[in-house]
Amino acid sequence: MAKKIIIPGRLHAGTTEQIVTGSNEVFDDKRNKTQEAVNDELYETQEVANKAAAESKYYNELTQKAIEGMTVTEQEVLKYSQDVVKHGRAIEKIAEQLGSIYDNDGREEDDEYHGGIKLKPIEESEMDVILGAGTAADDTVYLVLEPETTDNT
């Protein structure tokens, strides 16, 4: 490394541009890079973050439009399934804290597993049959759909 020169005060540019140095001439000892390289990395990171934010906003808007296009029953099923997922994650965290050997790798193609639980929307009559026969699956949450009402006004 070059010899260090003691500068007793602030540097002042003697040109009309008022530039003392460039980022390619400033060296960051901690990162072992020029300031120019550090700036380039920060700029690239900011570009990626901006793109991700724009895409996130776009997909959030699409999701909101899709939810608005659902029937009230479909929206309720979505809400309940989100609650089940949230509670399933909380249970998983508790199990991890307790040192459980909780296994969540039993997923199969086309199955909808959320936190190790399969969600199955069914009609009330189907639930009556399952309960009557005692054939409820341990890994399934049955979301009983309310019958659609017709408004005769």
**What are 2's two structure tokens?**
């070059």
**pLDDT digits 0-9 by tens, 110-150:** 445 545 667 778 888 898 898 888 888 877 777 787 777 66
**pLDDT digits 0-9 by tens, 47-73:** 999 999 999 999 989 988 988 888 888
CB burial readout 10-32, b (16+ within 10 A) else e: eeeeeeeeeeeeeeeeeeeeeee
**What are 111's two structure tokens?**
């199955």
- What pTM was estimated for this model as a whole? 0.39
